[in-house]
Structure 1
């Protein structure tokens, strides 16, 4: 397989793995879906560019299927922790550049980290934190956590903002935040003019620490 574009192998086609694989394929990537369950593989055969029924604890079978030629592997095996660990070890033996692995619990997480996975995911906990942020502050439509306690949030301005200007929000003054951009409908609006009028439903993209973002949301 040519290496001009990134290629992805998703191992484990349960609810999590099949969703990730489908979205990666929708973005135009070359994706192979792998599972030892024939039913799961057949369900994804028409959605993904390639699928294969495979026991991924078998290093030889992985090489024969050409998994070693993929740039990124997501090990999304669910309840079978032993298979997840052995598969992750095999990915290292194959020399895969980037390995992401789904963990079932914190102990599993620690083991996978020791094995050298580039990123270990606890989907339920990560989604739980994501949902709690949005429930805690209704103006927060979406957010992404970065390193060192910083997050990027998408804040929808409420109706009561009508008649106010950008400078009235106190971004960078009262609130230790950085405004990265603003969307008005589907249009990107430059934010260089602090005297610009705001409209309800404008979406601000803000960078800052969680406590500062929470205070800003409360002030709105």
Structure 2
């Protein structure tokens, strides 16, 4: 399996955290922002960092966004920029695009233009994860901001022998799977949506904190 390549467009606090942490997890990360200081903050850690306007499709071509398995649009306040970035990424053949959105209206627009999934940290404040859930059900949890987390968890027994397509985790549980590990601390690997999940693999996902409360994480995965 290949190491996953992730593009991060927009390097505010959220985008920087995503870029730096995914790099630590073994991803190849291409990061871009029009603020030189923000780019400098991640340049020593990511695979490639560029200063520029991520709504410029020629720039996206130059930095190799078409080679990304996933692109994460880290700005949620400028709807026009997010829309243009999504449209350009789709034109370049990116299959999975995640975008941050500040409101339900933004979400509706971004889904209309073809975003794969939304990260909505401003909606449904979720700083209520019980320590029992963290200890017993998640291998790792890293907060990306107040309401969004990067998580690792060993798959439940009910998922063994099923594919991500069959499980439909994104729609059912708002879990955006970005890769897998074969063992704790191992490299982050690409996981085909049609591959059958095997026992003891570790899934890595981005999710809203309230995902776990909304879908009774403790009960479902027990």
TM-score, normalising length: structure 2: 0.59
Within the alignment, does 1:28 sit opposite 2:26 as a pair? Answer: yes
**Per the alignment, in what secondary structure is the counterpart of residue 25 of structure 1?**
helix
Alpha-carbon distance between aligned partners in 2 of 1:84 and 1:149, rounded to the nearest angstrom: 24
User: Tell me, what secondary structure is at the counterpart of 2:128?
Assistant: helix
TM-score by length of structure 1 reads 0.60
Specify the alignment match of 1:210 in structure 2.
216
Residue 42 of structure 1 and its aligned partner are, at CA, apart by: 1.1
Decide whether the 8 Å contact of 2:30 with 2:63 is kept in 1: no
Q: Report the 3-state secondary structure (helix = DSSP H, G, I; strand = E; otherwise coil) of the residue aligned with 1:8.
A: strand
In the TM superposition, residue 212 of structure 1 has moved relative to its aligned partner by: 8.5
Q: Sort the Cα spacing of 1:27 and 1:85 in 2 relative to 1 into closer, same or farther, 3 A.
A: same
- Please, which of 109, 126, 129 is the counterpart of residue 107 of structure 2? 109
Cα distance change, pair 86–5 in 1 and its aligned pair in 2 (3 A): same
Q: 1:38 to 1:116 in 2, by over 3 A?
A: same
Higher relative contact order (CA 8 A, sep 6+): 2
Displacement of 1:26: 0.2
Q: Is the 8 A contact 2:3 2:26 kept in 1?
A: no
Q: 1:141 aligns to what?
A: 134
After superposition, what is the alpha-carbon deviation per residue over 1:89-112, rounded to whole angstroms, capped at 9, x for unaligned? 111111102111111211111111
Give the equivalent residue in structure 2 for 1:118.
Answer: 116
Structure 2, gaps ≥5 residues long: 139-168, 176-199, 201-214
C-alpha deviation, 1:63, in angstroms? 1.0
Partner of 1:40: 38
Q: Distance in 1 between matches of 2:172 and 2:102?
A: 25
1:65 to 1:211, Cα distance in 2 relative to 1, 3 A: closer
| Deviation (angstroms), 1:150 | 11
The alignment partner of 2:115 has SS state of coil
- How far the C-alpha of 1:65 sits from its partner, in A, is 2.1
The Cα shift of 1:133 comes to 4.3
Secondary structure in structure 2 of the residue aligned to 1:141: helix
| Distance (Å, rounded) in 2 between the aligned partners of 1:115 and 1:74 | 15
| 1:60-81 deviations in Å (ceiling 9; x for gaps) | 2211222112221101123222
1:55 to 53, 56, 61: 53
Query: Partners in 2 of 1:46 and 1:77 — Cα distance?
Result: 22
SS for the counterpart of 1:132 is: coil
* Structure 1 residues without counterparts, runs of 5 or longer: 152-180, 182-208
Q: Of residues 95, 98, 102 in structure 2, which corresponds to 1:97?
A: 95
| Displacement after TM superposition at 1:8 (Å) | 0.7
On the 8 A contact 2:99/2:115 being kept in 1, the answer is yes
Mark the structure with the bigger radius of gyration.
1
1:67 counterpart = 2:73: no
Task: Give 1:148 shift.
Answer: 5.2
